[in-house]
Structures are given as C-alpha cells and as structure tokens.
Structure 1
C-alpha cells in the first residue's frame, strides 16, 4: 500500500456506494474498506479526503499567501483591519506587535507601512523584499518624511497647502480654502484633526485623513493663538477681540466653554499634566490661570508690562512670562499661586520656550537680537547668545536649538552641548517681516524625526527644510503655491501606537480591489506583508 504523509487525526469520507477510511497509525499506511463498488465515486471521495486532511496540516504560509498572524525572528505581528472596507471611506489598519517568547507587546517602535494594489496572486517573500526596497529607496529621507504630509498655513490668502515630502517630484498635493485670513494652526500629538484659527471668528477643523474641512466652529472675535493639551482632550483658542478663550472638545469638535479673561493679545501655556492653562492678557499686564477640570478661572496675577510669550517649566512647576514692555521674565509658582521671581532680560523679550529636558528656558529678544538662557532650577539667567535680527521662534532637536529670525533671512542654529557654538544659516532670499504677519510672528516646526526642522518663509511662498548637525543651507525646498506661509504642522500618515504594541493607520482607498499591506521595522529588522480587499463604494 502507498505511504502518505502523516495526518493529525482520522478522517472519514463517505459517498453513497463507497467508504474510505484513513486511520493514522505508526505504520503511516492507508487501509481501505469497500462496500458495493462504484469506482469513480470512490476515487473522487478518496481524493477529496486526502485534500482536506493535507490542507489541515500545511503551514499557514502555504494555506494562504498572506496569513494574518506571522512570526519571524522572535517577533509576532498580527494584522487586523476594519470589518468592511469600501472606496472613499476611512479604513483603519492595525498591527499588534509582540515578543514571540514572552507575548509582551513591543512598544515605542516607528514601523513603516506601504500600500500596493495587486489583484494578482502574490507571494509573501517577494512582497517583503519589495517592502525593504521601497522603504530604502528614498536615500537620506527618513521614514517620517516618507509617511508624512506637510500642512502649511498661508496666512495672506487664507488657505492650507498640503505637501507630500515622500515624493521625488510633484510634492504639492492640494490646497484647502479657509474662507478667511488664517492666524494659527495646531495638531494635537498623533491626532487626526488639524485646527486653524480664521478671521473674524472661526475655528476650522481639517480631517487629516481626508485632508479636507470637517467642521467650521464659531468662536470669539479675532481668534489667534492655539494650544493643545498634552492629553489631547481639549484645544484652547485665545480670542484677542473679546477678552475670552474658547475650549473645544476634540472628541466631539464642539465649543464646550467660553471663559472670560483679560483684554489684549493672548498667548497660552498648559501644564504637562493638563490640569491648568495660563493665559497672558497683554493690555492689562496680567495672567489668568484656569482650572481645566472645572473650566473656570482660579486667579488673575499681575506680571510685567505687555506680557506676550508664556511657557511652563515642568521641573519648577511654574509659568514663565516674557514681558515685552519692561524686559523681564516673571515666574509664577503654580502651587503658591503668586509671583516668586522676576528675571531681567532686556527690553524686547517676546518669546520663551523650554528645551526638551524642561530645565532651560530660552527667552528671545527682538530688540537686542539675543537669546537669554534661564535655568529654572535657580531661576537665574546663565547665558546670553547672539542671534540673527529679531529672533521670533525656537524649536529643539536633540543637541541643537533652531531660532527663526523675523528680521533676517536666516535661522540661528545653536549647539546645546558646546557653549558658544552657533551659526546663522540662510533660509530664503528675503526676511519674513517684509510682509504683514499675524501678530508679527514667524515660526518653526520640528519634522518629528529628531534631525530636521521646517521653516516657512512668507516672502518666498515656500517651506524650507533644515537638518541638524551643521549642514549649510536648506536641504530641501517645498513650494506651497500660496501667499504668505507663516506656520506649518507635520501630519504623520503612518502607523501610530494607540495602545501598548498596537499600531494603527487610518487611510482611504480610491480604487476597489486586492491590496498588499507591507510592514517594515528597522530594529528589530522585520519586513513582511498582509492583504486586504477593498469593495466598491456604496451608490
């Protein structure tokens, strides 16, 4: 008798005239028992029985080209997607990544994903190889750039420009009309929605997946500065025209409170635990402190003349207020509810930001063209460095500080590890303050990859990319095709860690069919693929 592969259990195949039994024993043999003979039916039954048993023991990679759960080199990846995916609807893709031995989720990864339509039958190995090539073909471009959109606010023509930096050409994707001059833009950390203040009294909410306007909310008069809480629960709007702040719930996109504050321009800062918000009242020389839990003011504190910028120091648990009118920084101890220190910096101080460690604050002086460094553990100025003309904004990328200068067409890059090491690098052809900017502000934004920053230049209609580490001049230039780009955010289109070890991506499909979903992790290195089917849109 012919020897067949061993099966995990007995299988009984029956037809009307023939019975075939496939018992499993140590001899791995097949024995047949016949009833009244119908040869053709016996053959068919026998073949079907063998096929069923064989499929039950084949490896998953043979049973399906892209199994939903895969294990490689000690890492297990389970793929899930929305139950039904149709063209034009938002789909959610989930990758649950864990240690194959301990089953513990692997956190803190930045996996890359690729989408490729393939209606033909694919092979797991070839798809994974293509995934590696695809993620590496961009050369020096980081995964963040490949999986992100730059959204630039064109303040002068009231629009948003959407740019795809992962492309080699035709990077401009679309323009979103705001129906009014834009003042500020904010994107909560790993959020889906982008918020823009628009004159005279509107907050525009843009869906980052669709890259289109989702809501238009009525807020106070002359809305300007925006801030998002670290816990992403609320977005706060400073209304310069009617002495109030508006509070927007990010889950419902509704204005849930309007809180009275002082008169004048408002800048806002939030504590790291999202419990308190502080608001500067420029025309009254005060700061209003608001309880997030109760959405009520808990005190108004007098500070220096013409308070403008404000920042929260997590180590000292204090707010630091830059007073443009008298050249001081006021320290408000949150626990004591009062001013505890006043630090002289020179007239013209306007913007203040903390470094990533939360110890050192940089106070930028537009009159003296300097940055004063304040140690929050002692509340003293420990150094002053020269900048370009009229320094206006600052961001930090690991070992470097980038300072945007409004009065000169350059950015001052400062080493955080070597005192006195700084240099001005040209960005664009004309200084930003040649055009009428909202509150005279320029801006910078971190790319989110630890190496690059984006510098909008309203006079050039472009956004420049600068790299940390001493590269002279911008490494890339993005045309916004708009007038007066003043601010920008980086919308991460790739996978986001929504729970420990669970990474999600939201996207829409333009065409029905079968798609390969590639996944690549650089460390531990893993490249693999999954599949899903997209159905036509419902008519």
Structure 2
C-alpha cells in the first residue's frame, strides 16, 4: 500500500471514530442509534441555545445530551436505567495510547483518582451554603489524602439564610440574610442566573407543590424602607410575580392539597394568613394566642396544624381555617415536620430537650423522646428520623419502625467534635443535614470544623468527610449530576464541554451490560478580550508571616501583561479567611504607584492564627491562594518582613 493511501485510511478511521463535526441542523451535532443487548438507544447531542450556535462543537459550549431508550422486543420505554457516562480525551494522558472502550469504562468504574475523566456524568455533588458568602460545589469522588473536594464555588452578594431546589435538580433558590434579594442558580451549569429583588430581607423559602411558584417570606428587620410579607417568584421565567404585605414576624408556609390555598404564619403578630394561591389575596386570617412557629398541611385529611410555641399547643383547623381542636404539649415547642408516609408528626422542643411524636390522623401524642443538647432540626430518610441539636456534637437517629412500638430509643452518632451553637457566624435556617441520593445516609455540616461528614446508615459513625478550604459550610444538600430520567425512557443532561480536541463519550450499564464509546471533535472556542482571565502572582513566599495588631501589606503582580482596570466598575480585592473558620475580611487592592503592574492591599488582623488569602474581583481572576500566619504580638518573630 502506498504511504499516502495508508495516511488516507488512518485519517478515514479517525474521522469515523471521532466524528467530523457536522454543521448544526434540526438534528443537532449528533444523532445516532445504538442497538445492544436487546435495547435501542436513540442518542443525540444538541446545542442548548440554537440561536447563534456554532457550526461545530466548541469548548466551553453548553450542549444537551439526550437518550431515548426502548426495549427492542416490544418497543416499551426502559425506565430507571442505571447508566454511566464519561467524557474524556481520546488519547490517554497517562499512557499516550488510545484505550479501547472496555478499558476506558473499566478505568472509570475502578475509581482511579489520578486518571479521572474530564467530565463525569454519574454520581452527585454536595452543595454547601457557606458563611463567606458563597455556595461550594463539592465532588466526593476526589476527596482523598486530605485534599479539598471543591469543584466549583458560586459567589453570593451576601450570606445565604435559606435555600430551596427543584426536585429535578435544575434550579436552586437562595435567600440572602442581609440583602433584599433572592439568588437563582442553574444547577446543571452551576452558574448564577439572576438576582430577584424583594421588598424585605428573605427568611423562609418554600416551593409550591407543582414547583411553578416560589414563595419567599421576608421581614423588615427594623428598616423603614423594608416590608414584612411574602413575595412570589415564577420559577420558569425567573421573575417576581407579586409581593403581598403581611403582619409582622418570621413567616412559614404550607400548601393545601388542591393547590387553592397557601397558609402563612406571622410569628410576632400571632397571625396565620390564608391566601388564594391563584390571586395571592388574603381571604382569611387566624389569630393564634401565642406565637405560631410552624404550620403543616395534611393533604389527605384536609386539615392544617399550627404550632404555638409560646403556650405549647397545637391548634388544628379545617382547610378553610375553621377551628377543630387544640392539643396541649409543652411550652417551647417549635419546628415541626410530617413524616414522608404522612403517619407521624414530629415536633422538637429545644428548651425541654424533647421530641414529641403525634399520630397524624388523630392528633394523639404517641411519644415524648428525650434528645439532649437542644434539638432544633429534623430530617427523614427512608428508615430513620435524624434530629440535630444545637449544643451537642451528636446526631440522634430514631427508627421510623420503632415509632409504632412503646418507648422508642434514639441512637447517637458523632458529627465531628464541634457543636453548632459555637458557630461564630450564626446559623441560617437552612438545614445542616442533607440526604444522600439513595436516602440511606446523610451529609452533616460542621461549621466549627469547616467540614461536611458523610454518614451511611448502619454504621456507628461517619465514614468520610469533605472539605473546601477557605469556606465554612453552614448547610448541606445533594444534587444528582449528569444524566437523569426526564420522561418515560428518556434521559437527558446539560453539560459544558470542558476542553477542545478529540474526545470520547463512554456509556456503560450493567443491567443489561452495555459498553459504547462515541467519538467527538471539539473545536477551540474563540477567545474574546472580555473573557481573558487576569493572572496574578504573589510577591512573597507561599507562606507569609505577620504580627497581630500590626499593619500588614500584601503585594501582587499581574503576570500576563493585561492591565487591570481600577475604576468604579472594575475592582480587585483580597479576601482573607481564617483557617479555623469564621467570617472573612476584604481588603481593596489598589495600584502601586511605584511599581507598574503591581497592586497592594493593606489592613490589620487582630487575631493570631492561620489565614487563607484569595484574590477576586469584577474581572475573571487566575490565581492560587496564599497562606498568612499571624502571630501574637507577644511572640518574638524578629523582622521577618511583610508578606
């Protein structure tokens, strides 16, 4: 065979394997049918935004991967298919060879953390609501040898107080504690979409049962320009629909079974307002003698329970707000949860160190369980009730099956060595506990240790932990990443192509056993001047030293020759976070008049200890963090120089 013929055959082989990058049409970038092991898979890749979509796949582009799976024998859709998917370079960076499809899948399933794919479309992420303020996206698959698990961080304009996500893990809503705004984030792209202004400071966030509307309780917090009430946000259009003034106090929400009514408490005023869910008009108000701390709607019973913490009573009403009866418990009762099977109501009493269990049908008190350390939060798995306390490092687990028996006893597991009451930043109302995807365990945030612990049911203690250095987790939840079922036999994912070059998308399942690899050619994205990152380097050692209470000067230099703007709309700052946890401080960076391309930040740190120093700003920044060791002024450190 002639040399040019051999080269042509090799080129043809690679083109068939890796794809030739077809232009965008109604069929998208790729449309392929896979038939293996009795299954037919219609596989496609399309642009998320068809308008102005590039003709070929590009790095950093958002694309939608779709699979329609049916059984070849009868054409019925295949539901609950456990399929794995990974996108990686065609040529292995470790060996320089092109692995076979079976070798690729075996490597991914083997969990070799040194050879992870560029994009893993299996598993889950753990999200933490941080004090810094930010949301950390943690990848449990890369947590080893004390390494950070931080995959991505979403910066917020203020500390988050509560959050809520859609059940399809598409969107996340965050209410800010000190800003009159709700942040909306896209969980498929892990990016902030928008900020919605509301008249007051957000407290509780609650999604309506159909998840079309988000109800946001907000308070004035003593500010004349702010409003007590509730705001309604359309989760599809990301727009504010209406704001409704309500009596003063923290607001909790419950929704009627038929979707016609919304029940909203006003703690300080002692009022429960019943609103028409369609018109957002208050159609009835209920006066509670004390303080309505919780409200729970019972869809199948057509009743509403209001928990009065001041007088320790549970008031029951019809769905229309007419009184039924009142159940006496103990003063101090508060947060209330209905079990997933709708059989039990659990009410915690922090001051009395108790958890009350009531029959959801009759209202009859069944148990009073002692849980030490001021229990304040409840979460349900399929088998257990998790109870978190403010003044104990232990988490109580109560078997749901044991609630039908006399005298159920909790078992305890440690969630680190710190207690929640010691968190310097103050806890949000978002839960510090998040269920695992299989609902057989939990992720437990420990702010004082800046750690999230993983617990698997059946064990006596957490089996692993996650950390994101420089961030203090105050709440935790999990989201499924990658492919998920969106309809009968339909699976979809929106992904951001991580790199340019020859790629291979590997698919695998064990029931039935399928291995399929699809070649893709991804082009480089055009680089715009606005998208260039400004790279900084530290003009000091990686670990700098300073003295508490003395002025500190930190200098950085621009590496890539891009001159950073320094005006009202373009800024850079140092964000300094204690390694032990706590609120960070910000030092503005200003141009050094004596050195071109250099910026300096100045300030004083009064507390000795270790600090992480980050650079951030209005423009994209490329820089690692630095470590600053601040020693007590009584220590003799000589003249080590400034960091």
- In the superposition, the TM-score normalised over structure 1's length comes to 0.80
Aligned pairs for 1:451-530 (under 5 A) are 451-469=440-458, 471-482=459-470, 484-530=472-518
State how far apart, in whole Å, the 1-side matches of 2:469 and 2:377 are: 24
**Aligned ranges 1:276-315 → 2 under 5 Å:** 276-315=261-300
1:344 equivalent in structure 2? 328
Q: Give the corresponding residue for 1:381.
A: 365
1:285-330 per-residue CA deviation (whole Å, 9 max, x = no partner) reads 1222223322333322223521112333233233333221111222
Structure 1 residue 87 corresponds to structure 2 residue 59: yes
Indicate conservation of the 8 Å contact 1:519/1:529, yes or no: yes
Residue 105 (structure 2) pairs with residue 117 (structure 1): no
Do the aligned partners of residues 89 and 403 (structure 1) sit closer, same or farther apart at CA in structure 2, a change above 3 Å counting?
Answer: same
C-alpha distance after superposition, 1:35-67 (max 9, x if no partner) = xxxxxxxxxxxxxxxxxxxxxxxxxxxx87999
Gap change, CA 1:523 and 1:340, over 3 Å in 2: farther
The answer to whether the Cα contact below 8 Å between 2:86 and 2:121 also exists between their aligned partners in 1 is: no
Contact 2:430–2:475, Cα closer than 8 Å, also in 1: no
Unpaired segments ≥5 residues, structure 1: 1-62
CA distance in 2, matches of 1:527, 1:311: 48
2:34 aligned with 1:75: no
2:213 paired with 1:213: no
Aligned residues of 2:39 and 2:71 also touching (Cα < 8 A): yes
Superposed, 1:157-306 pairs within 5 Å as 157-169=132-144, 170-198=148-176, 199-241=178-220, 242-271=227-256, 274-306=259-291
Q: How far off its partner does 1:189 sit?
A: 1.0
CA contact (8 A) 2:160 2:428 kept: no
- Cα distance between partner residues in 2 of 1:164 and 1:328: 44
- What is the CA deviation profile of residues 125-161 of structure 1, one whole-angstrom value per residue up to 9, with x for unaligned ones? 942453255235389xxxx995222121123x32222
Q: Any conservation in 1 of the 2:257–2:302 contact (CA below 8 Å)?
A: no
CA distance in 2, matches of 1:496, 1:277: 31
The structure-2 alpha-carbon separation of the partners of 1:230 and 1:533, relative to structure 1 and needing over 3 Å to count, comes to: farther
1:281 Cα offset (Å): 0.6
Aligned partners of 2:216, 2:516: CA distance in 1, in Å?
A: 44
Q: Is the 8 A contact 1:165 1:171 kept in 2?
A: yes
Report the CA distance shift for 1:206/1:535 in structure 2 as closer, same or farther (over 3 A): same
Structure 2 distance, partners of 1:239, 1:200, is: 11
Which residue does 1:152 correspond to in 2? Answer: 128
Going from structure 1 to structure 2, the CA distance change for 1:311 and 1:443 (only over 3 Å counts) comes to farther
**CA–CA distance in structure 1, aligned partners of residues 180 and 386 of structure 2:** 32
Q: CA 1:130–1:75 in structure 2 vs 1: closer, same or farther (change >3 Å)? A: same
Aligned residues: 472
Q: Deviations over 1:88-132 (max 9, x none)?
A: 222111111112212111223443322222169xx9994245325
Counterpart-to-counterpart distance in 2, 1:138 and 1:387: 42
Give the drift of 1:371. 1.4
Equivalence for 1:363 = 347
Q: Distance in 2 between matches of 1:65 and 1:368?
A: 66
Matches within 5 A, 1:52-71: 68-71=32-35
Question: Are the structure 2 counterparts of residues 297 and 501 from structure 1 closer, same or farther at C-alpha, using a change threshold of 3 Å?
Answer: farther
Residue 90 to residue 245, structure 1, CA distance change in 2 (3 Å): same
C-alpha contact (below 8 Å) 1:146/1:166 kept by paired residues: no
Please give the per-residue CA displacement for 1:365-415, whole angstroms capped at 9, x wherever unaligned: 111212111222212221222223111111111111111111211110111
Alignment partners' CA distance in 2, 1:113 and 1:264: 48
Deviation at 1:200, TM superposition (A): 2.4
Residue 414, structure 1, aligned to residue 385, structure 2: no
Moved more, 318-327 or 64-73: 64-73
For residues 5-64 of structure 1, the C-alpha deviation after alignment (integer angstroms, 9 at most, x for no partner) is xxxxxxxxxxxxxxxxxxxxxxxxxxxxxxxxxxxxxxxxxxxxxxxxxxxxxxxxxx87
Q: Rg bigger for which structure?
A: 1
Contact 2:138 2:149 (8 Å CA) reproduced: yes
Q: What is the TM-score with the length of structure 2 in the denominator?
A: 0.68
Whether 1:446 aligns to 2:435 is yes
Partner of 1:473, secondary structure, is coil
SS of corresponding position for 2:421:
helix
d(CA) in 1 for partners of 2:503, 2:401: 47
Task: Give the deviation of 1:76 after TM superposition.
Answer: 2.0
Q: Are the counterparts in 2 of residues 149 and 164 from structure 1 also a CA contact under 8 Å? A: yes
Whether the 8 Å CA contact 1:72–1:526 is kept in 2: the answer is yes
